[in-house]
Amino acid sequence: MMNIQRIMKQAQAMQKKMEEMQEKLAQEECEGSSGGGMVKVTLNGKFDMKKIVIDKSLVNPEETDILEDLITAAYNDAKNKVDANMQKGVSDVTGGLNLGGLKLPF
């Protein structure tokens, strides 16, 4: 029979590691780009946009739809990178244990 106290200690240790990982990931930044690097978006680990860089050649009032699409694509690229970092962090903390689609609270 498993020792319930041991299991509880392991769960508490895992929770502490998860909190530390979340804090670390919140500080990291990922850059996404689109249009061959003409639009770049930087997000932190909480998906807050920290920076956007737009190549001046894209600033044309008659082509705002292209610019809007490129900004959206760059944001999504950065978001996917943040997601990948989170999944790696969770996997590192849990030792690859599948926790049934656990989503981080931010």
Q: Is 70 exceeded by the pLDDT of residue 68?
A: yes
Average pLDDT over residues 30-49: 92
pLDDT digits (tens, 9 = 90+) for 4-18: 888 888 888 888 888
pTM of the model: 0.65
Alpha-carbon distance 31 to 44, whole Å?
A: 9
Q: Which residues contact 79 (CB under 8 A, 6 or more apart)?
A: 32, 43, 47
